[in-house]
Amino acid sequence: MYIIIVIISIFFSGMMPDTIPMTNDTLGANPTENIELLYQMLYEEGAENLGEKLEDGDIGDGDAQEYQEAALEELLQEYLFLQENPVNINSDEIVRLEALGLLNHFQITHLQEYRKKYGNLLFINELSMLDDFNEHTIAVIAPVVCFGRNDQEKEQEKITIGKLATRGKHQLTVNYAQKFNPDDEASAYLGSPMKLQVKYAFHFHQKVRAGIVMEKDAGEPFLLHRIADSLQDLVKTYRKTGFDFYGFHLYASDLRLTRREPFRDSKNTLIVKDLAIGDYLLSFGQGLTLWTGMSMGKTAGGGNVMKRASGIKPKASASEGQFFRGAATTLRFTDFYATVFYSIRDIDATISLLDSLEEAEQVSSLIASGYHRTINELKKKNAVRQKAFGGHLSYSTASLEIGVTAYHLRLSASLQLKPSKYNQFYFQGDRLTDLGTDFRWTLRKIAFFGELARSDNGALAGLLGMTVKPAGYIHFSLLYRNYDKRYQNLFNSAFGEQSRRQGEEGLYLGVECAPAPRWNILAYSDFYRFTWLGAQVYSPSWGQEYSLKLEHTLNKNASMQFRWKSKTKMRNSPEAEVYSYYPVFYTKRTAFFQISYGITEGLVFTDRVEYCRYLIRDGPDSRGYFLSHDIAYKPEGKPYALTFRYALFRSDDYNSRLTVYENDVLGAFSIPSLNGTGTRIYLLGRLKLFNHLSLYARVGCLFTEDAPKTDLKVEMVLK
C-alpha cells in the first residue's frame, strides 16, 4: 500500500500548479507553523542520540527525560522569543542564529559578502540566490529575521519605565498534559497523573526580558490536603502546596554606562552587553570548560560542529537540570569582553550518613531528573546546596576570537559515589575547579577552532577542528578530540560520543554537498575509542559510526528524503557469566525514506517508512519497522490547522525499537520509543482566537498487545 502511495504521490507532484505553497506541511501563513521544521531538525541532529546514550548507560533512566527537555526546550524558547523580536538580517546581529544552530559559519559569511556586493536584502526569497541556503533553511529562519536597513535607533533606544509599561509585550502560556493508561503506576505516586506548566514572559524589544515559570510533573502532588492523612505531615516537611518547581529570570542587554551622542560609533563605549538576575545559562568556547543549555550533537554533514557560544542567556524553560541561579554580567570595551557570574541553588541528591560518630553527611549521587513523586524522591529534593562562581575573558574580532574560562564549584556535602567498575575517575568531593582556553580563527574559506581544558586534578581535555568551504557546492568539517579519563567537569557539553566527555578519543569527518540543483547530500563518519570502562562495557573499547542523508526537492510542492545510519560499538556479552564479562561488538542500522507532497492548497501528505536492525555477537538479532501516513491541513489565512498521523510499527525487542518524531503542541516535544507490535494514532489541532489567544490540543492513542494507552495535551497561549 505504501509503495502505491509513493508512486501516486510522485506522479501527482509533477502535475500540480506552481501556485500551491511549498510542500512541507509546516509552511503557511502563520510563521509559528515553521517551528515544526525546527523540531524535525532538532530530532535529526540531536534528540535521536538520546536513546542511544540511554541504551549505553551513559545517561541514567531517571535523568533521560530531563536531559531531553533541557537540551531542546531552551532552544525552542529562544526561537519563540525571536519570532516576536526578529534579528535584522542586514546587520551583524545575524550571528545569533549561529549560536542557536540555525545557520553555520559559512552561511553567515556568504550572507555578509552578498550584502557588501549587492546591498541589503529586501525579501526572504532573495536568500535562495545564495549557494548555502536551501528551502529548508530559509523556512526555518524566515519567522525570526527582519529586513530593516538600519536598526540603530531601535538598538540604542533608551529604556524608561513609561516605555516598559506601554510598549512591553506580555505572554501567558498554560500547558496541561496527562496520560490515561489502565496499567499506570499513578497509584504509587503522591499526586495526580496530570502535568501542569504555567509560564509568564515579558519583553521590551531585545533589551529587556523577564519571566516566571511554574511546573508540576505528572505524579507530583499539587494540593497537599488531598494526600493521605498519614503522609501529609511528612510531605509538608519537604515542600509546600502548589507547584513543585518555580523559576524566575530578569535579563537586560546593551546597557551603556557612558553618555554619548546618538548614533555615534560606540566602539569605545563601555557597554553592559548582558545582565542576568535569577535563572540563567552560560556557554563559552566550544563547550568543553563551561556550557549549559542547548548544544547540537553530531549534525548531518557537520555544518554546526564549530560552536558559537552565546555567553549569558536567560533560562525561560521549566527544565530542572543544569542551570545557574544568581547573577551574571558581561562587560564590553572595544573588542574585549569580560563575564563574571555567581550562582547559588539547591539541587537534588541522595544523602547518606556514613560517619555515625561525627554524623557527617555525604552525597552518594547527584540527581537531575526533577521528579518528586514519592516520599523517597521528596527526600532527595534540594538536599545539597551548590555554589558556583567564575568568569570568561575574551578578545573578539571578525576573524579571530580568543577566550579564557574559569569556574569554581562547591557543594555543601561531599560527593562520595558508590564504588563500581567504571566510575573510579568520576568527580568526587565537595570542590571542583576547571580552567580552559578556546579560539576561533577564520580565513576566507576555512575556519579553525578548538579548546583546551584542565580540571583541578591536573587532567587535560582538548578538541581541535576545522571547517572548510572550498567551493559553493561542498562543505566539510574535521574534528579531533581527546579527553583524559581523569578529566572532571559538571558543566560541559563539547562534541563527543559520551555525555561526560571523559576517557574518549575520536576523529569526526562531515561532508555536505549539492551535486545538482535541488539535491543535497550530507554524510559523516566518526571513529572513537574509550580509554576506560563504561556502564555497559567493563573494558576499554572502541566504535565507529556512519551516516548518509539524501534530500531532493522534486518541485515547489514535493520533496523526498532518505537517511541511512550505522553504529558499531562494544558492550558486555549477554551470555557472559557473572564476574566474567567480556566485550563484544554490536551494530545498529537504521534507514528511512520520507516523501511530502501537496494535494491542494493547504493540504499536505507525508509518508514515511523506517527500518531498524540490531546485531550482536552472542545474542539474537532483532528487527523493527515503522510505517506512517501524515495528513496536514493548514489553509492559508485561516485561524485553524489540523495534523493527523496513522502509523504501524513492529520491533522484535527493545534493542530494535523505533524512535520517531511526532508533531506536538507549541512548546512541547514528543519523541516516543515504540517497542513491540502495535498502532500509533494522534491528532493535533490549533485554533487562533481574537488575534491574541491561541489554543492547541493533541490526543494520541497507542494500541499494542497490552491495553491501549491514551495521552492528552492542551495548551493556551495568550499574548
pLDDT, residue 588, reads 94
Q: What is the pLDDT of residues 381-422, one digit of tens each?
A: 999 999 999 999 999 998 899 999 999 999 999 999 988 888
* Upper half-sphere CA count for residue 420 (Cβ side, 13 Å): 16
The answer on pLDDT for 30 being more than 70 is no
Pick from 175-189, 490-504, 701-715: least confident: 175-189
Dihedral of alpha carbons 20, 24, 25, 27, sign: negative
pLDDT, residue 244, reads 93
At residue 526's C-alpha, the angle toward residues 524 and 527, to 5°, is 150
Beta bridge partners of 366: 349
In whole angstroms, how far apart are CA 549 and each of 128, 560, 565, 614?
A: 21, 11, 9, 20
Average pLDDT over residues 667-679: 84
CB 535 within 8 A of CB 58: yes
Of residues 75 and 521, more confidence is placed in 521
Pick from 52-56, 285-289, 413-417: least confident: 52-56
**Which set of grid coordinates corresponds to residue 132?**
548555502
pLDDT band of residue 648 (cuts 50, 70, 90) is: very high
Q: How far apart are CA 572 and CA 565, in angstroms?
A: 23
Q: How far apart are CA 673 and CA 660, in angstroms?
A: 7
pLDDT, residue 535, reads 84
Pick from 33-37, 232-236, 466-470, 702-706: least confident: 33-37
CB 168 within 8 A of CB 706: no
Of residues 469 and 408, more confidence is placed in 408
The answer on pLDDT for 39 being more than 80 is no
pLDDT, residue 666, reads 81
Q: Which amino acid is at 195?
A: K
Pick from 117-126, 607-616, 629-638: least confident: 117-126
Average pLDDT over residues 241-256: 91
Pick from 42-51, 457-466, 559-568, 571-580: least confident: 42-51
Residue 477: name the closest of 510, 503, 523, 432 by CA: 510
pTM: 0.88
**Which set of grid coordinates corresponds to residue 538?**
567493563
pLDDT, residue 262, reads 46
Q: How far apart are CA 224 and CA 55, in angstroms?
A: 36
pLDDT, residue 516, reads 85
Tell me the pLDDT of the chain averaged across its residues: 83
> How would you write 40-75 as a 3-class SS string?
HHHHHHHHHHHHHHHHCCCCCHHHHHHHHHHHHHHH
Average pLDDT over residues 430-456: 95
pLDDT band of residue 576 (cuts 50, 70, 90) is: low
Residue 485: name the closest of 449, 457, 526 by CA: 457
The answer on pLDDT for 337 being more than 50 is yes
Q: What is the pLDDT of residues 548-563, one digit of tens each?
A: 999 998 888 888 999 9
pLDDT, residue 36, reads 62
pLDDT, residue 139, reads 80
pLDDT, residue 518, reads 85
pLDDT, residue 16, reads 33
CB 614 within 8 A of CB 586: yes
pLDDT, residue 92, reads 80
pLDDT, residue 398, reads 83
> Which phi and psi angles does 339 have, rounded to 5°?
-120, 135
Q: How far apart are CA 117 and CA 129, in angstroms?
A: 13
The answer on pLDDT for 333 being more than 70 is yes
Dihedral of alpha carbons 302, 303, 309, 315, sign: negative
DSSP string, 278-314: EEEEEE-TTSSSSB-S----S-GGGTT-S----EEEE
* Upper half-sphere CA count for residue 39 (Cβ side, 13 Å): 20
CA distance from start to end of the chain: 45
pLDDT, residue 230, reads 81
For 203, residues 6+ apart whose C-beta sits below 8 A from its C-beta are: 81, 84, 85, 168, 169, 209, 210
The answer on pLDDT for 578 being more than 60 is no
pLDDT, residue 49, reads 53
Q: How many residues does the chain have?
A: 719
pLDDT band of residue 668 (cuts 50, 70, 90) is: confident
Pick from 226-235, 253-262, 319-328: least confident: 253-262
pLDDT, residue 7, reads 36
DSSP string, 548-564: EEEEEEEETTEEEEEEE
Average pLDDT over residues 629-656: 92
Please state, for a pLDDT cut of 90, what percent of the chain lies above it: 45
At residue 107's C-alpha, the angle toward residues 105 and 108, to 5°, is 70
pLDDT, residue 470, reads 85
Pick from 140-144, 667-671, 689-693: least confident: 667-671
pLDDT, residue 373, reads 92
Mark residue 537 as left, alpha or beta (left: phi above 0; alpha: psi -120 to 50; beta: remaining).
Answer: beta
**Which set of grid coordinates corresponds to residue 105?**
559559519
pLDDT, residue 66, reads 56
pLDDT, residue 691, reads 81
CB 498 within 8 A of CB 58: yes
Q: How far apart are CA 645 and CA 152, in angstroms?
A: 46
pLDDT, residue 357, reads 45
> Which phi and psi angles does 474 have, rounded to 5°?
-140, 145
Q: What is the DSSP letter of 379?
A: H
Q: What is the pLDDT of residues 170-208, one digit of tens each?
A: 999 999 999 887 555 556 889 889 999 999 999 988 889
Average pLDDT over residues 67-76: 66
Q: CB burial class (10 A; 0-12, 13-18, 19+) of residue 224?
A: middle
CB 504 within 8 A of CB 496: yes
Q: What is the DSSP letter of 705?
A: S
pLDDT band of residue 502 (cuts 50, 70, 90) is: very high
Of residues 116 and 627, more confidence is placed in 627
Question: How many CB atoms sit inside 10 A of residue 441's CB?
Answer: 14
pLDDT, residue 55, reads 52
pLDDT band of residue 629 (cuts 50, 70, 90) is: very high
Q: What is the pLDDT of residues 300-332, one digit of tens each?
A: 777 778 998 989 999 988 888 889 999 999 999
**Which set of grid coordinates corresponds to residue 146?**
527582519
pLDDT, residue 31, reads 39
pLDDT, residue 408, reads 97
Q: What is the DSSP letter of 225?
A: G
pLDDT, residue 279, reads 96
pLDDT, residue 104, reads 82
Residue 23 CA to its chain's centroid (Å): 26
Please state, for a pLDDT cut of 70, what percent of the chain lies above it: 84
Mark residue 438 as left, alpha or beta (left: phi above 0; alpha: psi -120 to 50; beta: remaining).
Answer: beta
CB 288 within 8 A of CB 463: yes
